Structure formats: C-alpha cells, structure tokens
Amino acid sequence: MIQLQAACPFLASTLTLDEFGAFRSGRALGAPLDLRLMPGTVLGVVGPNGVGKSSLLSALAQAGVQSYGRVRFGEQDLAGMTSRARASVVSMLAQDLHAPEELRVRELVAVGAHASGSATPESTAERALEAAGVSELSGRRFGALSGGQKQLVQIARVLAQDTPVVIFDEPTSALDLFHQRAVEQTMRRLGNDGKIVIAALHDLSLALNACTQILLLDREGDAHAGPPTDVLRPDLVHAAYGVRTAIHTTPRGRRYLSTE
Amino acid sequence: MYNIRCVNKQLSRTWLAGLSGLLLLALAAFVSLTLGVVHLTPTQTIQALLRPEDAGITSSAVVWSIRLPRIVVAMLVGSALATVGAVMQAILRNPLAEPGITGVSAGAAVGAVAGITLGLAGSNQWGIPLAAFAGAAIVALVLQTVLRTRRDLGSATIILVGVSISALAGALINLLVANAHDDALVRSALFWLAGDLELRSWEHVLLAAGPILLGLTYLLSRVRALDALALGEQVAATSGISVNRERILLLLVASLVTGAAVAVSGVISFVGLVVPHAVRLVVGASHARLLPISALGGALFLVLADTVARTAFGPVIVQTGVVSALVGAPIFLFLLLRRQPS
C-alpha cells in the first residue's frame, strides 16, 4: 500500500483504492492500484496517451467504466452507494464538454447545484461561476462559448456540486496560459479546503506545480506514486514517455519541466 | 441584481410562450372546427359546441362527431411526438433523434399491423396500442444499444440506423399485410399506415389519451434527470442519476407514448424534430421549460398541419403526415447540413 501524505485524523474522509483498476474492452488496464488519499491531496494522474488515465478516472467515479477491486470513501464502498448518495461524494469534469447549444450557462451549472442537494441552486450556481472566474458568462448560451469557456463553465458545474472528492479529466486541455494558471489555483484551493482532487494531466509542468502527489502510469502497466519531484524524475519520465527531461526552478520558485 | 433580472426575463419568456401557445392552440382548434366541406360560421360553431341540441343536426354532428375528435387526436399525437422527440434528443444526445427518423415509430407500426392482421383488435381495444408499444420499445432499446456500443460512429449514424430499421419494418409490414387472411384487415392496416387523421373518432381519443397523458406526466417529472443526461453519461452518473435505469425507463415510457400515438395516427414523422428545435430557440434547452412548451407546440403544429391537410388542397387528398413532412423534411436537411462533423 502506497500511503500518500502522513496519516491524519480525517480517516473518515480518505479515499482508499484496494487492488483497484479499470477495464477497457474486457481487458484490465495496468497493475492493480493500492492507494490511500488523504483530504487535501491533489493527485495528478500522468502518463502517455492510451495508458488508461481517463478510464481510471471514470472507474473511480463509477461513471460507466467497468472496474475491479474496491474504492472506498471513508468506510463506504463507492460501487455500493446509490447514484444520489455518490453525487454528494464525487463530482467529475469529463473530457466530453458537450452540452445542448441553447442551454444557458447558469442552467448547466445548476445541474451540479441540484446534484449537491443545494436548497438555493441558482445562487449556488452563481457562486460557482464566480469561483471559476466566469460569472459574466452566466446568461450566455452554451453553444456561443469558446472551447476554453466551455471548459471553465463545466469546471464551475463541478465546483457547484461541492463534493469532498473532485475528479478532473484534463481540466486545462482547451485553456490559454492565463486560464491554465487559474485552474491550477482552483485545484490548489480545493486541496487547501480539505478536498481530494484527482486530475488527469498532460502538462507535466502544471502537474509539478498544482499537485501534491503524482501517479505516473506507463505503458508497461507499472504505476509510480509519490511527491511530484520524486515521480517526475528524468529516469521515470523517460521510461514512461521515451523523452529526456529535466526539472528546473524559476527564480521565483516555480518549477517547470524542459524536454531535450 | 442583473442575474435575477435575467432569470426573471427567461421565466417570463416561458410563461409568455406557454400562454401564447395555449391561445394559438385554442384559436387554431376553433378555426379548424369551422373549416371543411361543410363550412360553418364562427357563431354556428360556437352554438354547435355549447348548445348542440339547438344548433341543428348537421353542424353539431360535424363539430362533435367529425372535427372535434380529429382535432383532439391531433393535439394528443402532436404533443406526444414532440415531447418524445425532445426526450430522445436528450437521452441519445443527438439533436436529430426523433421517433419517426430513428425508426421507433416504424417499430410501433410493425407492432400495430401485426396486431391488426392477427386480429388482436377484435378481442381487446388495448391490443393494438400494446402491440405498437412493444414494437416501439424493441426498436428504442436496439437503438440505444447500438449507439452506446458504437459511440465512435458519430451522431449522423442515428439516421443510418433509423433507415435500416425502417427498411426492416417496411419489409415486415409487407409480409404481414401479404399474409393477412382478411381483406378488411388489410384495408384497415394500410389505412392509417399513411399517417393520416381521417375519420378519427372519440374511440381513438379514449384509446390514446390514457397512455399519452400518463406517459407525458412521467416524462415531465424527469426533467432534472434529462438535463443531466444531456450532458453525457459521465456527468449524469456523477450527478446523482442512475444512468442505465433512468435511460431505459425513459425510453420505455417514450415508446409507450409513441406506440399510443402511432396506434391512432400511423407514422407521422418530423414533429419530434421540428417542434423541439423551434421551442429551444424561444425558451432554451432546460427540460423543465422545453418539455411542456414542446408538448404545447406539438399539439399546435399537428392541429395546423392536419387542418391544412384536410382543407388546403381541394380535391387532392393530402395526409397529415405529408404536410408534416413537407415542413419537416427541409428543416431536417438544414439541421443535418449545418452540423459540424463531430
């Protein structure tokens, strides 16, 4: 068992994976994972295309992907919960950002607010839009948004659900630099609020800065978990991606990864 | 403050759409009552409606036995098909989904023709609607399975699936009709297959009203789930929706409603496509507003289409489904061409 972060008193709200993994086309993806994620963990799931990052995330969220092993939040097995109960534990930003074109942004975000059982879904939605930095989009049609705006609005939907476990599947894939930084800050803030954030990321520099922990999956089915600078070591990154890299630090303390 | 005003604006827009829809529907129904071979003045029509015993045999018979049941059937079928269209578009996440195009209506037609030619209609008045429901449900579940297992195929696939299902349904109907042992049964099967509301009676109203109104009530109670399902399986599954159970229940109820509609009107396509698309432009895509206004809009659309069908073309016989297709097919083509490749 790889234990991420020192044992803490919030055992009731830890996310525990026992021999857990996802199936794709009837085949198990990678080695079974044993992880314990404490509140405040921001876990970046990284690895080359096709290793099953998205499948793993969907399996964790019980969102239509078959899985083996167990995933528990506190003592509760996520697979055994009703969908309604699970919606107050796990929320998810999917890669698929699509929504009906004529849907208003605030109505989309309200889906998250309703899932959380909010008594005042409208104001919950407005607050979430504000937290995602896009409150000016509230009255817009979804179809009129740019790709990046769609992603931020969907992130707002997840924030409106306000769950202790938040799953982001490539949250910055459509975003410009400024908004990438905003999402990075959102992820860190969620961690500071005591939530467990799990994000599939392609940008390893982002992973270095946004995450407290990294899970690196490679094509051989091996998994490495630990603090960002330990896992994104040049040798492990090379083994996974076949690319030589180095970690640098800017004068102001921000880390980034360069390729050679 | 700004946002509150925005919400209010949209709400009042929905009320406005609902109220004007109701008024238009009442007006269309009334105008439709006056038009036809026997022309009635508005006064005569009102008199025939309110005091049939004083209005004279002809006008009260025309209003009560011929035109009114036909109009009520058009309202029921129109609201059924439009609402089911909006529901299928959310569940299948495909703006082109509609009971006619996807072959669900064709499945219902196979069921109904089987019911008619095998003589189910004689033994039990619910025989044909139930058979139509079974046919529609089989197609709906096949459709959902195909689209789920082959998500890579893109959204226009639904049309190809619909074409093949409709072709198969056509073959089955031909087979059933060719082997029917009674010519009267064949005539009655072919009669409504064309999608016409000619000679609808209160019997048809009674037959369709129960399943359609019950089904629509259920669909209207699931608007939150539909909102979530329209965002995709992963979002719905993590937003408190039991995706598989919800989808199957919704599709079964949608099939029941479609079956009831097809059992009294035959296959009328495009209502479920045209109406929800137009309604979305007015009140948006949130299902709490989309479904009730679509039901209203569908009723209005089909009453108008039917009135045009039976009055506008003189001696030429034009079926309700033909008018619906004349309006709907070009819009369908436009929507198809406008879609970006996914």
pLDDT, tens digit (0-9, with 9 covering 90-100), for B276-288: 999 999 999 999 9
Phi and psi, residue A259, nearest 5°: -105, 155
Q: Are A85 and A101 in contact (CB under 8 A)?
A: no
Q: Which residue of A has its CA nearest to B279?
A: A102
Q: Which residue of B has its CA nearest to A99?
A: B231
Cα B117 to Cα B185: distance, rounded to the nearest angstrom = 6
Nearest C-alpha neighbor of B264 from the set B116, B122, B118: B116
Smallest CA–CA separation between B166 and chain A, in Å? Answer: 27
Q: How much is the pTM?
A: 0.90
**Percent of the residues in chain B that have a pLDDT greater than 90, as a whole number:** 44
Nearest C-alpha neighbor of B81 from the set B319, B286, B320: B320
CB contact under 8 A, B281 and A108: no
Write down the residue that tokens 């059992």 correspond to.
B263
Residues of A within an 8 Å Cβ radius of B: 58, 61-64, 82-84, 86-87, 90-92, 94, 96, 98-104, 106-108, 111-112, 114-115, 122, 126, 138-139, 141-142, 157, 161, 167
Cα B104 to Cα B117: distance, rounded to the nearest angstrom = 20
Cα B89 to Cα B273: distance, rounded to the nearest angstrom = 9
CB contact under 8 A, B7 and A122: yes
Kindly report, residue by residue over B44-56, the tens digit of the pLDDT.
999 889 888 887 8
Q: Are A212 and A40 in contact (CB under 8 A)?
A: yes
Q: Which two structure tokens, joined as six digits, stand for B117? A: 């030619």
What's the complex ipTM?
0.91
Classify strands A90-93 and A245-249 as parallel, antiparallel or unpaired: unpaired
Cα B202 to Cα B208: distance, rounded to the nearest angstrom = 10
State whether residue B171 is helix, strand or coil: helix
Kindly report, residue by residue over A49-97, the tens digit of the pLDDT.
989 999 999 999 999 888 999 999 999 999 999 999 999 999 999 999 9
One-character DSSP codes across B230-278? TT-HHHHHTTT--HHHHHHHHHHHHHHHHHHHHHHH----SHHHHHHHH
Q: Are A62 and A84 in contact (CB under 8 A)?
A: no
Closest by Cβ to A104, choosing from B234, B239, B284 = B284
CB contact under 8 A, A104 and B238: no
Answer yes or no: is pLDDT of B4 > 60.
Answer: no
Alpha-helical regions (H) of B56-201: 57-61, 68-91, 99-102, 104-117, 120-123, 127-149, 157-178, 183-193
Cα B303 to Cα B320: distance, rounded to the nearest angstrom = 9
Cα A199 to Cα A187: distance, rounded to the nearest angstrom = 9
Write down the residue that tokens 């492990």 correspond to.
A236
CB contact under 8 A, B240 and A99: no
Query: Taking the CB of residue B300, how many other CB atoms lie within 10 A of it?
Result: 25
B chain contacts of residue A126, beta-carbon cutoff 8 Å: 3
Which tops the pLDDT comparison, A84 or B159? A84
Of B235, B249, B340, which to mutate for an interface test with A (greatest number of A Cβ within 10 Å)? B235
Kindly report, residue by residue over B239-278, the tens digit of the pLDDT.
999 998 998 899 899 999 999 999 888 889 899 999 999 9
Kindly report, residue by residue over A191-218, the tens digit of the pLDDT.
999 999 999 999 999 999 999 999 999 8
